[in-house]
Amino acid sequence: MRSLIQFMLITDHDMAVRFYEGALSLDEVKLPNNRSFRLLNLPLCLSAKVPDYLDYYFYS
């Protein structure tokens, strides 16, 4: 997660995806520079469905 935050600090993206072993969730993350971004946390078992989840959570 630390490297994801470092990446988001140097880009102007407002969304990110993280694969991990937890539950599916969508979080609003605030960066140290007071910017925020939406973080889609996807369980590893859903990694093949990334385009579907991106469409649903970010583009609908």
pLDDT for 13 equals 95
* Angle (CA) 25 20 4, round 5°: 85
Per-residue pLDDT tens over the stretch 24-54: 999 999 999 999 999 999 999 999 999 999 9
Q: Decide if 18 contacts 25 (C-beta within 8 A).
A: no
pLDDT for 60 equals 80
SS3 16: strand
**Band of pLDDT at residue 14, cut at 50, 70 and 90:** very high
Can you tell me the mean pLDDT for 2-30? 96
- Domain range annotation of the chain: 2-58
pLDDT for 5 equals 96
Q: What are the DSSP calls for 18-53, one per residue?
A: EEESS--EEEEEE-TTS-EEEEEEEEGGGGGGHHHH
- Chain-centre distance for alpha carbon 54: 10
